[in-house]
A and B are shown apart, each in its own frame.
Chain A
Amino acid sequence: MADATAVRSSRASQIARYERPSLVTYLLWVLVAAFIVWSFAEAAPSMERLTKGLNRIFAPDGMLARMFPPETERLPQVLLALLETFQMAVAGTVLGLIFSLPLAILAAEGLSPHPIVRVLARGLIAFFRTVPDLVWAIVFIIMVGLGPAAGVLAIMIDKIGFAGRFFAEAMEETDKGPREALAAIGATRTGLIFSAVIPEALPSFVATSLFSLEKAVRGSVVLGLVGAGGIGTELRIAFDLFDYDQAATIIIAIFLLVLAVERVSDWLRKKLI
């Protein structure tokens, strides 16, 4: 017994615990480590700067102290701006979802009418997704001017990129059996998409749509900071004028809106899926 253990142990010791990396792998690791160190040196705040900054926030006359108590005098205007933000998010998301469905069908393998169409549709979705919504907002502000219309268009494009990808993947993952059965009896492409594919992908569509709305509500606040309407514009003005108590009211209002949307979204997801 003891001999057997000894043999096992000696055999195991012949197997290296770690593989020696190749020269290329070794160099790559060194390069990655060097880049991380360089990034910290270039971009991360210095300790001294961080301490000064924290003092500015937490000092007795600092920003945090001036935020409380939050100012409620302009609460009606804040709530109206909040409503506008929510409306921007809803309108942009609904438009985005409407346009993303046909684009997702064109981009889905097995449903697209032609491989070239599929590649083009996928490319368009990827382009909409990779360009940040803030950039779209700036583009649309140039196009339609300052205000919520630019925000709605920016959210719409961002959501086409987001939902288009997930809609296409959800449809590709559906069971091919039902659509083959309908194809075998001579059903049209539209018929089998709407009869077999979409009903099966519906739970995934609902989940993606609700996430889109949550994402749009958070995103629409930031869009306001660059002038695309809503409460973000109010927040920027409050900070620009050093009205930190006003800013506190706005931040709390945003927090409550995002929380409410997430809770309702969770409830709907459980109810519908």
Chain B
Amino acid sequence: MTGPAARSAPLQAGVAGAAPVVVVSGLVKRFGERTIIDKLDLAVADGTAVALIGANGTGKSTLLKCLVRLVEPSAGTIRMLGEEVTALEGRALARFRSGVGFVFQRHNLVPRLSALTNVVHGVQARAAGPRTWLQSLARGEVRDEALECLEAVGLADRAGQRADSLSGGQSQRVAIARMLMQRPRLVLADEPDASLDPKSGAEVMDLLYRLAKVQGLTLIVVSHRLEHAKDYSDRIVGLADGRVTLDERASDADPAVLRAFFDRPASPEQHHEGNA
């Protein structure tokens, strides 16, 4: 279940000939005098699972946040899911974000609420009002869909359990179920394995990869674990000094080269990124 052999979908699905759903051109992000992302270009084909790797402070998390404008880019253009992201404002930006699933390093569940209610919250990407606040108020079909999402992450039997009584790995899986409730076409995951023990981390990465393949989603995932980047992606993109300096198929990637990426220290001005 957790190793490459257990993957239920072919590695290269969605790569060959698919149209790009993410096109980043000349992206720049500066924090004051410090340049974190420096004229970065990247295109991701529909249905591809991309692992973003690089040492601390090389701009991986900032890049993900720029893609949905949780961090404002300083220059450049981003085109995602047919929308000119950098030109969106207000409601149009909120509508665009609702189609992009974001999995954070921390699960960010509401601790006092049940797993099912936390998953129901995902429907707020496409609906509003009191019936989206609690599972007890939700419409029947929304509750059913939320339960299906929990089933997809293997936690249907924990639906009524409070989020603060779940383990770290289970909580991250509930966060993934909440993301599925959005019905996204594209998923961005910022080190979803970082705060978990090795076994739970691998389970979460495997789950994300399998769900992306089964549901035909495009996945861009940041991971600091070399084996996860290689095992749970189709393509590996390495960042150094705010630019793409490695881009190859995961199956062809040389572990020694990848290791060098993780070991390479970021330039002093980019250490700021961790706080961005």
A contact residues vs B (CB 8 Å cutoff): 175, 177-178, 180-182, 184-188, 190-192, 194-196, 199-200, 202-203
Contact = CB atoms under 8 A, between A and B. Distances in A.
Q: B interface, how many residues as a size bin?
A: 20 to 34
A190 B104 contact: no
B175 A199 contact: no
Contact of A191 (B70, B93, B113, B132): B132
Interface centre among B98, B124, B125, B128 (most CB of A within 10 A): B124
B112 A186 contact: no
Contacts, number: 68
Contacts of B110: 178, 195-196, 199-200
Nearest to A192: B124
A178 B111 CA distance: 9
Contacts of B96: 186
Contacts of A191: 124, 128, 132-133
A195 B112 contact: no
B90 to A, nearest CB: 11
A24 to B, nearest CB: 40
B89 to A, nearest CB: 13
30 contacts: A177-B104, A177-B108, A178-B110, A180-B104, A181-B104, A181-B108, A182-B124, A184-B70, A185-B97, A185-B102, A185-B122, A185-B124, A185-B125, A186-B95, A186-B96, A186-B98, A186-B124, A186-B125, A187-B124, A188-B124, A188-B128, A190-B128, A191-B128, A191-B132, A194-B130, A194-B133, A195-B110, A195-B132, A199-B113, A203-B112
Contacts of A202: 112
B109 interface: yes
Is the contact region of chain A dominated by helix, strand, or loop, or is it mixed?
helix
Contact of A200 (B102, B111, B133): B111
Contacts of A200: 110-112
Nearest to B109: A178
B121 A182 contact: yes
